Chain A
Amino acid sequence: GQNIDQPTEMTATEGAIVQINCTYQTSGFNGLFWYQQHAGEAPTFLSYNVLDGLEEKGRFSSFLSRSKGYSYLLLKELQMKDSASYLCAVRDYTNAGKSTFGDGTTLTVKP
């Protein structure tokens, strides 16, 4: 099966940098996704990692280490609108249809 762990809550200051960690266990790793979800809204795609290393997209970057079962999402130059829940999700090639999400990390950005 799959197991995903993320911190429940984080707080950071506007303009700062924050790192949200995600650890996972899966039998057939086939990629890790990060989604952003504002309260009451649908999740939206942020990033996808399938190979080790860092993927950068503007203020957001995501890192993956497959050997450690570890990923992080890095948010730079935080803005108030970044206050949201960040969901880590893992796909498994032994069952391509299954999609497992972590419980999400609620990030609060303060002035």
Chain B
Amino acid sequence: EAQVTQNPRYLITVTGKKLTVTCSQNMNHEYMSWYRQDPGLGLRQIYYSMNVEVTDKGDVPEGYKVSRKEKRNFPLILESPSPNQTSLYFCASSLSTGGTDTQYFGPGTRLTVL
């Protein structure tokens, strides 16, 4: 089944404890992206990747890191989480990088930072 998977789905952690949220797609998609969603707000783009080893900042990159060592994986790293990073996170992928393909979203990761 073609899909985007994220792990963990739920995570409660404490300020300053490094964490990684994994994202994997099995559709051989070129483009991958991370978003956060907060109550009453739409999706805000954190980072995106146009290809292996090619990543770039979105609108809200502060406090996050990403890597794209393999085409299928795009982990999101929070080196020192803070309470303002409590949010619902979505990973997404699309076939090409031209911007005209739909994005397929993972199921989301609900993160709480105490």
Contact = CB atoms under 8 A, between A and B. Distances in A.
Contacts of A89: 43
Contacts of A8: 40
B7 interface: no
B70 interface: no
| Main secondary structure on A side of the interface with B | strand
Interface string B36-53: 000011111100111000
A48 B95 CA distance: 15
Interface string A55-87: 000000000000000000000000000000001
Q: How large is the interface on B (under 10, 10 to 19, 20 to 34, 35 or more residues)?
A: 20 to 34
Interface stretch (B11-19, B21-29, B100-108): B100-108
Contacts of B100: 30-31, 48, 50, 91
A14 interface: no
A4 B43 CA distance: 12
A50 B33 CA distance: 21
Interface in B29-75: 31, 33, 35, 40-45, 48-50, 56, 58-59
Interface string B81-114: 0000000001000000111101111111000000
Contacts of A27: none
A25 to B, nearest CB: 15
A98 B48 contact: yes
The 10 closest A-B CB pairs, nearest first, are A91-B99, A42-B105, A101-B42, A45-B102, A96-B99, A101-B43, A103-B42, A97-B48, A30-B99, A104-B42
Interface of B: 31, 33, 35, 40-45, 48-50, 56, 58-59, 90, 97-100, 102-108
Interface of A: 4, 8, 30-31, 33, 40-45, 48, 50, 87, 89, 91-93, 96-104
22 contacts: A8-B40, A30-B100, A33-B102, A33-B103, A41-B108, A42-B90, A42-B107, A43-B103, A50-B100, A96-B97, A97-B33, A97-B48, A97-B50, A97-B56, A98-B59, A99-B45, A99-B58, A99-B99, A100-B45, A100-B59, A102-B42, A103-B42
